[in-house]
Every structure is written in C-alpha cells, then in structure tokens.
C-alpha cells in the first residue's frame, strides 16, 4: 500500500513509518523537520518519500498530497498523526491558546481529509486514519484542557465525515485511533511544558511501537474506532455512565488506570 503519515519525524509517526516500511508498504513522510524526516526515511526503506510539510497550512497539505500521488501513482491510506499539546487550565486559556490547539489538532486533520478524500472518491476506495487521545473521552489531565477539547472536536469531525462517506462511498473508511499515555517526547514538546507524570499513570503507559502496531492492524482491518489500550473502551463507558462519580475520583487522586496521550 501507499501510505501518507503526518507528524512522521518522531514519536508514533516515526515508529509507524518504520513499521509499515518494513512490511513492504511505501510511505510518504510529512513534518516540518526535514533532517529528522530523512533519518526516519532511511530506516523506513528505499521507497520512503520525504515531504517537509507544515500541516497547519492548507497549501502545504495539498502539496503533500500532490507529491505522494506523483511519486506513488495513488494513495491508499492517509494518517493524520500530527498534533501538539498544551499545559494550561481551561479558565486560564487565551484566545491564542485555544486557536493554536484547534489549528494543530483539528484544522491540520481537516486539511488532510479535504485534500485526500476527492482522490479516494475517484478511486472508489481509501482509508483516512485520525490520531486522537484518550483525553478526548475522559479528562484524566485537566491541565491538557485545550488539547483535550481539540481532540474531542476531532472525534466528532471524524465521525461526521465517516457517516457522510458511508452513504455515498462505502469503499472509503474513516477511523479514529485513541491512544492513552505513550512514552514519547509529546509532553516535553507541549506548550508550557509538562508536569511530572504520576507513577501509577506511567505503569499504564504504552510504547509507540505498541500504538504503531495497533494502527498497522487497523490498516489491515478497518473499523471506526480503536483504543490502543484494551482497557480504555470499558473505562470510557464507565465514565459516561456516571460522569460525576468518575470525575470526583480523578480529582481525589484515586487510581483510574490513568491514561493520556503524551
């Protein structure tokens, strides 16, 4: 398959590129950092394509699509993985803070979907995969308020695109992936830094390799949603069954098999 991955210079995106490249897929790698992308491409195999891209710019995303189609002939899967966190309580957020999180985590994915879906419609098939966060479902870390809100918006946007395409183009799949805490540099790169992660939360963390394996499995067997931690689907159900009780326990510091995407 021919697969485009944004946010591919590090973390989940880089590991996913290597995992897919080693399986024989051709990958187009997008991020702002060209040097790091070139290194990932070296590990992902000779067919890897490097396209320096700022996914917050629609023209860059459209150029990424064009470069991938030019190099590969067509695209089978588009993974909107790029995103960024922020450490700030909800009541302290400025307009610029919220705008930055929406741009990095929602608009970037929207640009990707709007760029590639017409190509998928022409082919009658394709797969969009958007990477979200467990924080979009359960507020384990209120200091990630704007990031959590943006990822919740991404979930809704993804669901609506999936429903629209199901009615007219059933060969096009649209999926959301919901990781929890992942051992990457996400927290270090978050605007405002990141507070120390409690030991109980770290015990529940997944490696980017585990998350990449879940995404690779989703490419092979498309479904609407994937929780990369098998315990998290039931946890999200418990949260919505009694939001007040669940949140009180979190606020009191009681273990909830804590998870957030860092």
Query: To 5 degrees, how large is the angle CA 83–CA 158–CA 260?
Result: 45
Mean pLDDT throughout 39-48? Answer: 92
pLDDT at 19: 96
The domain tally of the chain equals 1
CATH classification at residue 194: 3.40.50.720
Percent of the chain with pLDDT over 70: 92
The answer to whether 61 and 32 have CB atoms below 8 angstroms apart is no
pLDDT at 66: 98
Mean pLDDT throughout 51-68? Answer: 98
Q: Which of 111, 147, 227, 239 is catalytic?
A: 147
**Radius of gyration for the alpha carbons in the chain, expressed in angstroms and rounded:** 18
Q: Which residue spans within the chain are E strands per DSSP?
A: 2-6, 26-31, 49-52, 77-80, 126-131, 172-178, 225-227
DSSP assigned state of 144: B
The Cβ of residue 45 has, within 10 Å, a number of other Cβ atoms equal to 17
Percent of the chain with pLDDT over 90: 79
Mean pLDDT throughout 62-90? Answer: 96
Examine the pLDDT at 259 and tell me if it is beyond 90. Answer: no
Can 239 be counted among the known catalytic residues? no
pLDDT tens, residue by residue, 168-213? 999 999 999 999 989 877 766 778 777 766 655 666 788 999 999 9
| Residue 261 falls inside a structural domain | no
Local confidence band at 257 (pLDDT 50, 70, 90 cut-offs): very low
| Residue 256 falls inside a structural domain | no
pLDDT at 154: 98
pLDDT tens, residue by residue, 84-114? 999 999 999 999 999 999 999 999 999 999 9
pLDDT at 200: 59
pLDDT at 249: 84
Closest CA to 76 of 218, 238, 208, 203: 218
Mean pLDDT throughout 81-86? Answer: 93
| Residue 142 falls inside a structural domain | yes
Print the domain residue range for 122: 2-251
| Residue 257 falls inside a structural domain | no
| Residue 262 falls inside a structural domain | no
The answer to whether 90 and 142 have CB atoms below 8 angstroms apart is yes
């Amino acid at each position: 398959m021919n697969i485009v991955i944004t946010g591919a210079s590090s973390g989940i995106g880089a590991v996913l590129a290597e995992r897919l490249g080693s399986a024989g897929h051709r990958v187009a790698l997008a991020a702002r950092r060209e040097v790091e992308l070139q290194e990932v491409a070296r590990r992902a195999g000779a067919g890897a394509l490097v396209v320096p891209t700022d996914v917050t710019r629609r023209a860059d995303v459209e150029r990424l699509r064009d470069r991938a189609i030019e190099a590969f002939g067509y695209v089978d899967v588009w993974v909107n993985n790029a995103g960024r966190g922020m450490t700030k309580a909800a009541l302290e957020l400025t307009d610029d803070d919220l705008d930055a999180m929406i741009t990095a985590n929602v608009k970037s994915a929207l640009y990707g979907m709007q760029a590639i879906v017409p190509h998928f419609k022409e082919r009658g098939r394709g797969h969009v995969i958007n990477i979200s966060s467990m924080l979009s479902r359960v507020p384990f870390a209120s200091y990630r308020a704007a990031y959590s809100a943006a990822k919740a918006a991404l979930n809704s946007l993804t669901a609506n695109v999936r429903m629209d395409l199901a009615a007219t183009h059933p060969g096009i799949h649209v999926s959301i992936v919901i990781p929890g805490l992942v051992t990457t540099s996400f927290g270090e790169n978050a605007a405002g830094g990141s507070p120390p992660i409690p030991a109980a939360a770290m015990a529940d963390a997944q490696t980017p390799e585990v998350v990449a394996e879940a995404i690779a499995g989703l490419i092979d067997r498309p479904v609407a949603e994937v929780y990369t931690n098998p315990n998290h689907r039931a946890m999200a159900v418990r949260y919505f069954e009694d939001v007040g009780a669940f949140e009180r326990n979190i606020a009191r510091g009681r273990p909830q098999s804590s998870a957030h995407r860092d």
